[in-house]
Amino acid sequence: MITTAAFAAPAFAGDPMLSSGGYEGQMHTTPMMKMLDPDGNRMVSNAEFDDFYGKLFDELDTDKDGEVDATEWVGVKGRTKLELATGGYNRELRTMKMLGMMDKDADHKVAKDDFFTHHKTIFTAMEKSGDGEINPQEWLGKHAGN
Ligand SMILES: [Ca+2]
Ligand SMILES: [Ca+2]
Ligand SMILES: [Ca+2]
Ligand SMILES: [Ca+2]
């Protein structure tokens, strides 16, 4: 029997938060990958990923109190576009459904830790080759095949 060391049980296996097809569908696009790959080497590293979500959180957290409340999350109509994200991604992210998925203590605010935890889970799920970086095939969810 061959042992597959690369197989790591995801911490949130079966968690409904990973079944948000619309949000992740808008995330796993080439324009979004480019935004997360500022050095342009066509690989999204852990550091680039964390850096992006740190900046995105700060952009959402307009009053800078370390949590994004419902008003900040959904945004003011007409001024809701995030500079860091595509329109489609912005639309899918800024719904009460997504806020609820990341709001672990159900106080209708998303803390930075919860925001990172959610996206770290997505990163881990995408990073299938075990090199710690996400290549375009992994990002777009395409299987390179063996
Ligand atoms: Ca890169
Ligand atoms: Ca805030
Ligand atoms: Ca909360
Ligand atoms: Ca990889």
Lowest average pLDDT, out of 17-31, 95-109, 121-135, goes to 17-31
pLDDT of 78 higher than 90 = no
Say how far apart CA 10 and CA 29 lie, in whole Å. 23
Q: Which ligand is nearest to the CA of 37?
A: 1
Q: Which ligand is nearest to the CA of 70?
A: 2
CATH 1.10.238.10 fits 18-139, yes or no: yes
Coarse DSSP helix, strand, coil percentages of the chain, rounded to the nearest 5 percent: 50, 5, 45
* 72 CA distance to ligand 2 middle (Å): 7
* 10 CA distance to ligand 2 middle (Å): 30
Query: Mind listing the pLDDT tens digit for each residue in 33-65?
Result: 999 999 999 999 999 999 999 999 999 999 999
pLDDT at 76: 75
The model's confidence at residue 18, banded by pLDDT at 50, 70 and 90, is: very low
Lowest average pLDDT, out of 7-16, 40-49, 75-84, 104-113, goes to 7-16
Residues with CB under 5 A from ligand 2 (ion): 61, 63, 65
Q: pTM for the full model?
A: 0.81
DSSP 38: T
Q: In Å, what is the CA distance from 120 to each residue of 78, 91, 115, 141? A: 30, 21, 9, 16
Contact status, residue 32 vs residue 85, Cβ threshold 8 Å:
yes
The model's confidence at residue 13, banded by pLDDT at 50, 70 and 90, is: very low
Say how far apart CA 60 and CA 85 lie, in whole Å. 11
CA 16 to chain centre: 15
Residue-wise burial string across 74-110, b where 16 or more C-beta atoms lie within 10 A, e elsewhere: bbeeeeeebebbbebbbebbbeeebbebbbeeeeebb
